Amino acid sequence: MPQASGHKAIFLDRDGTLMVDTGYCSDPADVKLIDGTQELLRRVKQAGFKLVIVTNQSGIGRGYFGEHEFWAVQKEFERQAGIDLIDATYFCPDTPENATERRKPNPGRVLEAADDLGIDLSQSYMIGDKDRDVEAGIRAGVKASILVSSNALESPPTSGEAIVVRDLRQAAEIILEKGVRRGEPTR
């Protein structure tokens, strides 16, 4: 069980949240960071958060590419984002049709990471670009799940149990300046 007095962390979806989603990315040449990725990662790392990638990679389960290609893309992502910023990466190769507890929206990979790294989920956040990302954080019991959506309003509302923001810079502001919990207003 994740520690109640452990490290605080940011769990991050990768494709579509931190880097452009090219659809089953298997070539390091296709890695392009989304604006604000480096700033978010540096700011929250400097504030003492561990950074953990939690990503569904059904392209592996579908046979489109293998783990070697996944790790080559991850290595290029980390090179562009900043060496030594990411503390750990957890991926799930399950397809939606054969999903286990590890595939988001299930919380399995978040819970595994929390246990492995001694993370206090009540002081941690999940950031993603899809409902399944924030749902995994909510089910795992993080302090708040943040949905990054370009359709978010200027002052982000909460949406159910997720906080909706327009970009990664706003996600960093919420985490570092407001420290809101899910269900609390962000204004």
pTM for the model: 0.90
Please report whether residue 3 resides in a domain. Answer: no
User: Whole domain around residue 30: which residue ranges?
Assistant: 9-149+159-178
Please report whether residue 184 resides in a domain. Answer: no
Total domains in the fold of the chain: 1
Please report whether residue 186 resides in a domain. Answer: no
> Is the distance from CB of 9 to CB of 119 less than 8 angstroms?
yes
Please report whether residue 185 resides in a domain. Answer: no
Please report whether residue 183 resides in a domain. Answer: no
What angle, 0 to 180 degrees and rounded to 10, lies between the N-to-C axes of helices 108-117 and 131-140?
50
Which pair of structure tokens corresponds to residue 126? Answer: 């999940």
pLDDT tens column, 130-181: 999 999 999 999 999 999 997 655 444 455 578 999 999 999 999 998 665 5
Please report whether residue 102 resides in a domain. Answer: yes
CATH number for the domain including 87? Answer: 3.40.50.1000
Cα–Cα distance list, 167 to 26, 60, 121, 163 (Å): 25, 28, 23, 12
Residues with a known catalytic role: 13, 15
